[in-house]
Structure 1
Amino acid sequence: MLERAPSQGTKHDTSALRPVAFRGAGFMPGGGRVSGWIALALVIALWQLAGSAGWVNPLFLPPPSAIAVAIYKLAISGTLWQHVLASVVRIGSGWLIGTVLGVIVGFAIGLSTLARGVGITFISALFPIPKIALLPLLILWLGIGEEPKIATIALGVFFSTAISVYSGVDAVPRNLIRMAQSFNVPVHAIVAKVVWPGALPSILAGFRITASVALLLVVSAEMIGAQFGIGAFVLQAGNLMQTDQLLAGVVILSLFGLAVGKAINVLEARLLHWR
């Protein structure tokens, strides 16, 4: 963009044109990935230095090198994959069930007055209940096995998904829906072509939250009643004061969270490319 500089001299002088910096970035976030990785590397380096210099008792806080060795030994022995597989199956099953039901109920609440009146009442009453507190009752209903753990995860994911979906539906501009109705567009086409794309950013943000909820619930459920799983492994390592293995389990949970976050970023880039 060019702007005209103030003229000096006679009125017949032609003013010079000069470039102006672009001011319409629209608060687009810049790339800060490198700085984030550098900060993480510095923290790990300081942590390792504190452990190697003996400033911190390794029983209370093992250095990163000890945690890496513990993860390597667990991976070589096969114990790591046994625990990880059990947790991934529970998370995947519970998250899928809770997400499907939450999307259906969320759209119903967002589109139907009757469903909104009934659904919001139940969600407001049941959402604040810690879902892990229902695990003993679910064990009584479903028996001892995988079903209570998966049901606990599904319940936690369901409520968060339903809230994010109907919030996203509410955020869709009603003028777009009225315009489609004025052209006699069928209801299913309005939902597919107007409501769904408009609500999708909120739905994907809800997916990011429910993935964390599922991870928290599976660890809690495995600590209460499971032989295999990351939660059971962390609890066992803590009881035996094997802090290197305990933190190895915590690192694995963190890596799993990072992987899920990366997957959702890819999904957002593909589905929200129009933004």
Structure 2
Amino acid sequence: MAEPRQIPFRGGGFRPQRIPGVGLVVFVALIALTEWGTRAGWISNLTLPRPSDVAQTLIDLWQSGMLMQHMAPSLSRLAVGSALGVTAGIGIGVLIGLFSMVRAGLIPLVSALFPIPKIALLPLFVIWFGIDEGSKYALIALGTFTPTVVATFGAVDNVDRTLIRMGQSFGLSWWSIVAKIVLPGALPGILSGLRISLSIGIILLVAAEMLGAQYGIGAYILQAGSLYDLERLFAGVVILSALGVTLSWVISRIETRMLRWRT
């Protein structure tokens, strides 16, 4: 008698599986291929520098103390500007999602601000807030504000209305429904929007630091580009990439901790 065939479980709901090490292998292979191409002459040094030279530049930056001299003001600007933009964006996005009057009044304004390239507003912010830190904070704040608003009220709109009606049928107060149903249900969408907002914040940080900043990753890249120093230029790009990956990892940890109920 044949043994019964085991049928694999199909109720995973397309949940992604964590496969450790694959991303690192792809990254290392790409770096090794670039290193080989530059050394063999297939890739011109005027197009791409050797990854080993970029790594040595990063080591020299660290040993000289210049890395932290440029990183500290950039992190400060990104933290202050993003905190202002994200906090205001989440608050207004929740209000738009909850109140029809607020939605009717602010949706047209947000829709008008959203497609404007925020970098184009930098000269205006310089006129308003000066060439120092104020204009940089304002640019990053506005750049993170609009996508956070859109992501937040979209997440509130997508909360299952059946759960809200169930809470009403059990006699929950308005505030209890918002705190126990709406906000937890909207949190995944808000955190997903936060990834996009912070990525935009990094882009605007670089643009802001290229105008009137002596120190910062954007100023460092601008100086390297003006001297056609590709090793320093790519070192700055690597630093920005590492900053983006770190922020994404932090948000992933927050999602894991705050959204355990989804698993």
1:10 maps to which residue? Answer: none
Partner of 1:192: 179
Structure 1 Cα separation of the partners of residues 5 and 67 of structure 2: 63
Cα distance, 1:18 vs structure 2:
4.1
TM-score by length of 1: 0.91
The yes-or-no answer on 1:146 pairing with 2:133 is yes
Is 1:165 the counterpart of 2:152 in the alignment?
yes
Q: Which has the higher contact order (CA 8 A, sep 6+)?
A: 2
Bigger mean CA offset, 182-191 vs 120-129: 182-191
Which secondary structure state, in structure 2, belongs to the residue aligned with residue 26 of structure 1? coil
Aligned residue for 2:21, secondary structure, equals helix
The offset of 1:35, in angstroms, is: 1.8
1:72 aligned residue: 59
- The amino acid of 1:26's aligned partner reads G
Q: 2-side partners of 1:178 and 1:257: how far apart?
A: 40
Identical aligned residues as a percent = 47
Residue ranges of structure 1 left out of the alignment (5+ in a row):
1-13
1:221 is displaced (CA, Å) by 0.9
For residue 88 of structure 1, what is the aligned residue in structure 2?
Answer: 75
State how far apart, in whole Å, the 1-side matches of 2:9 and 2:172 are: 41
1:242 alignment partner in structure 2: 229
2:95 is aligned with 1:101: no
How far apart are residue 16 of structure 1 and its match?
6.3
CA distance in 2, matches of 1:18, 1:57: 58
> Residue 270 in 1 paired to residue 254 in 2?
no
Amino acid at match of 2:192: A
| 1:224 aligned counterpart, secondary structure | coil
Please point out which of 209, 228, 253 is paired with 1:222: 209
Superposition deviation, residue 209 in structure 1: 0.5
**How far apart, in 2, do the equivalents of 1:255 and 1:245 lie?**
15
CA distance in 1, matches of 2:126, 2:5: 74
Distance 1:123 1:199 in 2: 19
Larger Rg: 1
Return the alpha-carbon distance in structure 2 between the equivalents of residues 165 and 243 of structure 1: 40
CA distance in 2, matches of 1:17, 1:47: 51
Deviation at 1:54, TM superposition (A): 2.7
Larger mean CA deviation between 186-195 and 88-97 belongs to 186-195
Number of aligned residues: 262
State the Cα distance separating 1:271 from its structure 2 match: 0.6
Give the distance between the partners of 1:102 and 1:62, measured in 2 at CA.
40
SS in 1 for 2:211: helix
Equivalents in 1 of 2:115, 2:8: separation in Å? 50
Structure 2 counterpart of 1:51, which letter?
Answer: T
User: What corresponds to 1:259 in structure 2?
Assistant: 246
Aligned-pair distance for 1:186? 2.0
Runs of 4+ with deviation above 3 angstroms: 14-18
Q: Is it true that 1:125 corresponds to 2:108 in the alignment?
A: no
Select 2:101's aligned residue among 94, 114, 118.
114
Report the Cα offset of residue 142 of structure 1. Answer: 1.3
Q: TM-score, normalised by structure 2?
A: 0.95
